[in-house]
Amino acid sequence: MFRGSHELTLDNKGRLAIPAKFRDALSRDFDTQRIVATLDSRDRLLFYPEGEWEKVEQQLLSLNVKGKPNLQLYQNLLLHNAETLELDSAGRVLLPQNLRRLVNFDKDVMLVGRVNRLELWGLEQKMAETEKALSIDPDELDFDLSQTDLQL
C-alpha cells in the first residue's frame, strides 16, 4: 500500500523518479512495474498500479452518465487521458507531454501515497491544500467527524 509523501522534481525531459518506498510497494503489494497515469484535475495526476486501474476503469465504464453531463465529462477526462507507464531501470517514469501540458504545475511536485494509488500534485498546490486542511475550525471538524463512523 502507498503511504506518505515525497517532494520531488521533474527532470528536463519530464521524468519523475519514483521513491524506493513506492517502487517497493508497487512490486510487493501490486506485483507490477507498470502504472496508469491519468488527469483528475488541473491540480493533480492520479497514478494507479495497472491492476488497480483496471478496476477503476470498469467502475467508470459502468457509471450511468446519461443525462448527467458533469459525470460524462469527468468519466471522459479520466478515461481519455489514461496512459500506461513503465518504470525504467532507474525507477523513473516519463510523464506524457499531453498530461504535463494540462496540469498547473511545472517541475516542483509532491508525490502522495493514497493506499491503492499515488497522486502527483504541484508542490505549491499541495502545500496550499494542506494549509487549508490545517486551518479547518476544530469544532466544525469535530461535528463533521461525529456524523461518520470514523474512529481515530
SS3 category, 98: helix
Q: What is the pLDDT of residue 15?
A: 97
Would the CA dihedral through 31, 32, 36, 42 be positive or negative? positive
State what percent of residues in the chain have pLDDT above 70: 100
pLDDT beneath 70, residues of the chain: none
Q: What is the pLDDT of residue 152?
A: 83
Q: What is the pLDDT of residue 151?
A: 83
Instruction: Read off the pTM.
Output: 0.92
Q: Which one, of 133, 97, 107, 117, lies nearest residue 7 by Cα?
A: 107
What domains are defined for the chain?
3-122 (3.40.1550.20)
Helical axes 69-80 vs 50-62, angle rounded to 10°: 150
- Contact by Cβ (8 Å): 8, 109: yes
Cell numbers standing for residue 45: 495526476
